[in-house]
Structure 1
Amino acid sequence: MALFFAWKFYGEMLAWDEGDELMRKIAGHVRDGAMAYLRQQYKVMLLVFVVLAGLFAWLAYGMNLQTHWLPYTFLCGGFFSALAGYFGMRTATAAASRTAAAARQSLPAALQVSFRSGAVMGLVVVGLGLGNVAAWFVLADLLMPASADAGGRMVLITTTILTFGMGASLQALFSRVGGGIYTKAADVGADLVGKVEAGIPEDDPRNPAVIADNVGDNVGDVAGMGADLFESYCGSILAACALGAAAFVATPDAQLKAIVAPMAIAGIGIMLSIIGVFAVKTEEGADQHMLLAALGRGIHISAIFIVLASGLLLWLLDMPNAMGVWGAVVTGLVTGIIVGRATEYSTATTFKPTQHIAAQAEGGPATVIIAGVGVGMLSTAIPVLVVGAGTLLAFFLASGLDFANMTQGLYGVAIAAVGMLSTLGVTLASDAYGPIADNAGGNAEMAGLGPEVRNRTDALDSLGNTTAATGKGFAIGSAALTALALTASYLEVVRFELLKNGIDQLALPGGQMVATAQAQLADFMIYFNITLLNPKVLAAMFVGSMMAFVFSGLTIMAVGRAAGMMVEEVRRQFRETPGILEGKAEPDYARCVAISTVGAQREMLFPSILAVLTPVLTGALLGVAGVVGLLTGGLSAGFVLAIFLSNSGGAWDNAKKYIESGRHGGKNSLAHRASVIGDTVGDPFKDTSGPSLNILIKLMSTVAIIMAGVTVSFHLM
């Protein structure tokens, strides 16, 4: 159903008028640049994936340290994540000029074209994601040999298909880091030289970096965001299935229900997301409050009905502790909504934090930077407290009000993540809509459309900035819950690695022996000495926390280097071809696109390799306890740092937009120039480092799961 409606919305978008010849020409430049970037990225990824698949095949078949499914699930995860990004990119680049053309007709028409085009991305992600999870589960169930231990067989199946997440995670990291570097190198170059030095408007066709900037919006916020949430969506379902299998291993009937429940909830969420997409509409002359209400209506309708439908589903399934599990689903959904609203409060122009930053712009760039950093730091409070409270509540409800029932409690945390992401089809649509509206505004500006059209596209663009910031907050919150569930799943994978190595009993302190197949997570924590008093755990927590900052530093500096090359290129073109600024010569757009593309591909490799190697080396040096410490430290620091970076960057961006709407002197005032500097600093924060941290914390968990066999075998030698 998701893929059918994605195809339907795509066809409806193509049927709209693409605009006049100039609008089509501009759209063609952006489309060609986006596809050129994807081709280059996929070449690099193909090489990396082939090498890693070969390594995994050697570990699986040559060394017998991994499941034999790993090479195939790894490649499949990467391929479908890339495919979702490709479909989203094709749609977004085709939709921008059609949105601008629809804006000549009315605001409601422009919103319909842009939002339903964004829905293509959302529905493709959930359709391919749920389809793959279900298909791998059925395939594993068919091909894995029957066993007298039916419960143990299901745990083996669900932990095996967890490996699908590795390919999706790595592809997501490439898309997020590479796309983030690309888009911000172009954006910073276009802003610093075009708006600040040359004094020409944003999206002016005289700016050589303007096409690269428009391409970057799609590369980072469509393909990158899609891959990020594809990974979270699949990871949350897979982790919930694995933890459900472990929680009810002794009762096969209840176990199968616990495995099916997260897939079924996700399936119902798809249907309700489609209803939510149709609910998004507005009227001519709508202001920002009305436009936000229109998008909110689609999301809230889906959220309200998923609460009712998931309760009915769990009752029909006759799940053990059905009400507690339903409470965990609702907790995840409410947590996601609150995190999104908290992000909106910190970044939207209609609230005090962003207005405060805009007011501080009158004092110059320094006060803008100080205000933005302060707002970003303060903005971490509500999301962290809400996610922490949501985790405790989901655990408590699903455990049957017994904190000692750890495995069922963690199943509740995982299914809370499924609840948060259940309406991803419409939630991601509201995020992917943003770059389409942004590019539509650029197309209208460069094509010289009238002020009425530009006012409509500006309204959609401003709304898109808010939905993009809200989407990033939502992605960060879902990443935190998913990463926690994956960390718990890691110990379930370790269980079967121990059994494979002949360790069928755990020797606990005091001479107590516990059967490995029946051991609780608490038993594993005692067996591996996973406690804060263990220096291995503590040292690894420091390393995990450090990784969040080192990774962010590497990506921010990568943007700086790539942006430096872009700035020099734009200055060179202005200097060597004076006719560009006079409107008598066309800039070399392709050269700027090439600089961003090459810079992004070169700069993304080292941070990506570091993210993969760190869990492997930690496992080799510090064992299972060290890996758990690493994942805990990385999750804690990465979650908070990601919120700070994303919200401060979003607030700086919208403060600039707020000034451009006529406040504090308006465009070209001293306050405006200061706000452009703030926005430039915030660009790599909100679009490169902040979003990439989501994937870092999930990727380290997934790599740890993949390499659990190596870690266990290494420390048993």
Structure 2
Amino acid sequence: MITIIQLVSIAIALLAFGMAFWLYTWVKAQPAGNSKVEHIGSYIQRGANTFLRREYTILACFTGIVALAILLFIPTPIWNGALDNVIMAVSFLAGAAFSALAGKVGIQVATIANRKAATASQTGIKFAFLAGFRGGAVMGMAVVGTSLLGVTLVLMITNDATAILGFSFGASSLALFAKAGGGIFTKTADISADLVGKVELGIPEDDPRNPAVIADNVGDNVGDVAGMGADLFDSNVASMAAALVMGISLDAGTSTKNVSTVFCFAALGLLASIIGVGTAKMGKSDNPNHALNSSTYVTTTLYIVFTALATQLLGISWRLWTAAIIGLGVGTIIGIASDYFTNDEKHPVHHVAKASKNGPAFTILGGASYGFLSVFPSMAGIAAAALAAYLVCDPLGPGYAMFGISMAAVGMLSIVGMIISNDAYGPIVDNARGLVEMANLGDKALAITDSLDSAGNTVKAVTKGFAIAAAGLTVIALLGAFMTEVNEAAEALGMGEQFLSGFDIMNPYVFFGLLVGAAIPAVFSAMLILGVDRNAQRMIAEIHRQFKTIKGLKEGVEGVVPEYDRCIDIATVGALKELIPAGLMAIIATLLVGFIGGVQAIGGFLAGNIVSGLLLALFMSNSGGLWDNTKKYIESGNFGGRGSDAHKAAVVGDTVGDPFKDTAGPSINTQITVVSLVSSLMSTVFLTTSLF
């Protein structure tokens, strides 16, 4: 049965590619804009591709070095047998390559869709919405199709659970640096453009006089399209990898029922997303929020029905189905919680906007407080999902409780194709709004793109909360995969069948790892935010230089154009300089803890890293989203509107929140996944080689 389901998975992945190609050709066939739209759009496209090319060149060198290290030492030193090491190194490179390809596809279509959406906004909201959404859906279909195809092929070719972890490590490594690099780039430009443009000069957000405005639009693509796509590609692959490692161990060569279940549920999730994407359109209400939500509801409903039918027809345990649906339901609840704390129609944003009248200190205090409050429902939801899935599947037998948690993660990520489509829609329509303003396409087009952008901001907050929650369940499942890998290695070395059954925090090795692991996300976040800080200061100095030395720029004299490329270059060089150290720090810390305290210390390290990382990621994502929408709420005419004291205070809050929500916060997800995978891949080494 497993071969048939794997072939069906490949067929559905190819169907997703076909859907992506159709969506791409539809977007490309939409009417082109006027010469100004096309000219500015080409600036954005060229800047995004230049950054991606330079980033991928650096990451190619990094992945090459890591692949060589894997070839020599993982899973065992190469002189003990070369074949497994070769398989692992090739799987790692394949994971990195597939992730890079998905990011490139997303950038390619997003930088076309933004122009099409801007042009369509002159005639009405329906086609402008479709251009933005279908452009984002190309990314959704490409990312999930690629991840499903990659994992299926790796297992079919190697029949090795550890090779799947290698593939996942490749995807996670590239995602970690792509998200960090893209986040540093985009927030460098965003902060610089806002502080000089809005606060100092009082000019609009996308005023073409601002030298950082093109870099800001480029950043939306490299950070929120390529970066977030890589992040969710990584989470999707990691959830499947963790479930498959445990499923293969449970099947123990006597059956394939658990591995078949993982592939079946993942493939049906992609099929439901394909259909859901096809149903997305504007209704009579002309409400983009309603259109985005309705397609998500269609996808979720179809997934529940499809998996229930498969469970009945294929004899899958209903307990495993229940675990998957628990994950899906909790993901939805966490998205709703994130929406409450960040939506500009809800009380928290209104409260912080009102407080902003009294200065930026109150903006920061209010946003930080609501950010911390927002952590509880999401953390409690993740905990409840893990506990419920554990208890539901525990009666199935030894090992099934942790497998149930991994199935909850698979269930939560089942509709990730739709989630990525919604998420990528956000930066596309944000760019479209900028193009409308810079090209002077009129008040009607600006009002339409403002409406689309507002929906994009709301849905981005929901998808970020969803991504963090999915990462939370995934890394709990990866902790189970780590225990499975250690126990299999211990059994092979004659140390007993159940070497690890849990981690006692009163064990000094576990407690040592727990404290170190809890500190890593804070240090990681600080390094990324300081990177944005240093880079933004360089760009602000460049903006000031241009306004001082280019005659007529500040006054908007006809024909006077800023040196946009200088700002793009500053953001690019700074981001590439800052992206490697933070990721390396997390990986090196994992290796040091493992070599000092062994597998017990690594268990504590992962537990501390997961709890601390999820808390910080949720806090930064939601507080940043709240500050962003507070600014937009005031700009829409509330509490004095643009240029008021409340507006200036809200811009300061948004400036603090930018690296929170778009650089450090989302990158922590991937950092947790990377250290979890490093731990699993190094499990045999940590088991046999540690200082104590």
Which interval holds the TM-score relative to the shorter structure?
over 0.9
Given residue 203 of structure 2, which amino acid in structure 1 is its aligned partner?
A: I
* 1:571 lines up with 2:544 in the alignment: yes
Residues 71-86 of structure 1 aligned to structure 2 (within 5 Å): 71-86=89-104
* 1:673 lines up with 2:670 in the alignment: no
Are the aligned partners of 2:87 and 2:158 in contact in 1 as well (CA < 8 Å)? no
Residues 76-475 of structure 1 aligned to structure 2 (within 5 Å): 76-141=94-159, 157-249=160-252, 252-253=254-255, 256-283=256-283, 286=286, 290-319=287-316, 322-400=317-395, 405=397, 407-475=399-467
* 1:22 lines up with 2:36 in the alignment: yes
Report the Cα distance in structure 2 between the residues aligned to 1:531 and 1:63, rounded to whole angstroms: 36
Given residue 193 of structure 1, which amino acid in structure 2 is its aligned partner?
A: V
Cα distance change of structure 1 residues 343 and 700 upon mapping to structure 2, 3 Å threshold: same
* 1:57 lines up with 2:71 in the alignment: yes
Given residue 36 of structure 2, which amino acid in structure 1 is its aligned partner?
A: L
CA-CA distance at 1:705 after TM superposition: 1.2
Are the aligned partners of 1:108 and 1:284 in contact in 2 as well (CA < 8 Å)? no
Q: 577, 580, 601: which is aligned to 2:576?
A: 601
* 1:525 lines up with 2:539 in the alignment: no
Cα distance change of structure 1 residues 716 and 571 upon mapping to structure 2, 3 Å threshold: closer
Report the Cα distance in structure 2 between the residues aligned to 1:309 and 1:50, rounded to whole angstroms: 41
Given residue 234 of structure 1, which amino acid in structure 2 is its aligned partner?
A: V
* 1:535 lines up with 2:538 in the alignment: no
Report the Cα distance in structure 2 between the residues aligned to 1:570 and 1:7, rounded to whole angstroms: 40
CA-CA distance at 1:406 after TM superposition: 5.3
Q: In structure 2, the residue corresponding to 1:448 is in which secondary structure?
A: coil
Q: State TM-score, norm by structure 1.
A: 0.92
Given residue 376 of structure 1, which amino acid in structure 2 is its aligned partner?
A: G
Report the Cα distance in structure 1 between the residues aligned to 2:314 and 2:406, rounded to whole angstroms: 18
* 1:7 lines up with 2:4 in the alignment: no
Report the Cα distance in structure 1 between the residues aligned to 2:97 and 2:313, rounded to whole angstroms: 35
Number of residues paired by the alignment?
A: 672
Q: In structure 2, the residue corresponding to 1:422 is in which secondary structure?
A: coil
CA-CA distance at 1:582 after TM superposition: 2.0
Report the Cα distance in structure 2 between the residues aligned to 1:493 and 1:276, rounded to whole angstroms: 37
Report the Cα distance in structure 1 between the residues aligned to 2:566 and 2:682, rounded to whole angstroms: 42
Q: 581, 592, 597: which is aligned to 1:617?
A: 592
Q: 606, 619, 623: which is aligned to 1:648?
A: 623
Report the Cα distance in structure 2 between the residues aligned to 1:47 and 1:274, rounded to whole angstroms: 35
CA-CA distance at 1:567 after TM superposition: 0.6
Report the Cα distance in structure 2 between the residues aligned to 1:245 and 1:124, rounded to whole angstroms: 27
Q: Which residue of 1 is the match for residue 3 of structure 2?
A: none
Report the Cα distance in structure 2 between the residues aligned to 1:406 and 1:538, rounded to whole angstroms: 26
Q: State TM-score, norm by structure 2.
A: 0.95
CA-CA distance at 1:291 after TM superposition: 2.4
Report the Cα distance in structure 2 between the residues aligned to 1:257 and 1:460, rounded to whole angstroms: 45
Report the Cα distance in structure 2 between the residues aligned to 1:168 and 1:596, rounded to whole angstroms: 25
Are the aligned partners of 1:107 and 1:284 in contact in 2 as well (CA < 8 Å)? no
Q: In structure 2, the residue corresponding to 1:261 is in which secondary structure?
A: helix
Given residue 359 of structure 2, which amino acid in structure 1 is its aligned partner?
A: G
Report the Cα distance in structure 2 between the residues aligned to 1:580 and 1:252, rounded to whole angstroms: 73
What are the superposed Cα offsets for residues 674-695 of structure 1, whole Å, 9 maximum, x if unpaired? 1101100100000001001101
Q: Percent identity?
A: 40
Cα distance change of structure 1 residues 179 and 64 upon mapping to structure 2, 3 Å threshold: farther
CA-CA distance at 1:715 after TM superposition: 4.0
What are the superposed Cα offsets for residues 226-251 of structure 1, whole Å, 9 maximum, x if unpaired? 000001101111111111222343x7
Are the aligned partners of 1:107 and 1:285 in contact in 2 as well (CA < 8 Å)? no
CA-CA distance at 1:68 after TM superposition: 3.7
What are the superposed Cα offsets for residues 11-57 of structure 1, whole Å, 9 maximum, x if unpaired? 10000112000000000000000001001101110111111111111
Cα distance change of structure 1 residues 605 and 716 upon mapping to structure 2, 3 Å threshold: closer
Identify unmatched segments of 5+ residues in structure 2: 1-14
Report the Cα distance in structure 1 between the residues aligned to 2:398 and 2:386, rounded to whole angstroms: 13
Report the Cα distance in structure 2 between the residues aligned to 1:483 and 1:53, rounded to whole angstroms: 23
Q: CA RMSD in A?
A: 1.5
CA-CA distance at 1:525 after TM superposition: 3.0
Q: In structure 1, the residue corresponding to 2:689 is in which secondary structure?
A: helix
What are the superposed Cα offsets for residues 497-555 of structure 1, whole Å, 9 maximum, x if unpaired? 3344x32x42xxxxxxxxx2xx4xxx5237xxx31110111111111110011111111
Given residue 24 of structure 2, which amino acid in structure 1 is its aligned partner?
A: Y
Report the Cα distance in structure 2 between the residues aligned to 1:438 and 1:161, rounded to whole angstroms: 37
Given residue 336 of structure 1, which amino acid in structure 2 is its aligned partner?
A: G
Are the aligned partners of 1:324 and 1:399 in contact in 2 as well (CA < 8 Å)? no
Report the Cα distance in structure 1 between the residues aligned to 2:118 and 2:469, rounded to whole angstroms: 33
CA-CA distance at 1:198 after TM superposition: 1.5
Report the Cα distance in structure 2 between the residues aligned to 1:706 and 1:699, rounded to whole angstroms: 11
Report the Cα distance in structure 2 between the residues aligned to 1:570 and 1:706, rounded to whole angstroms: 46
CA-CA distance at 1:280 after TM superposition: 1.8
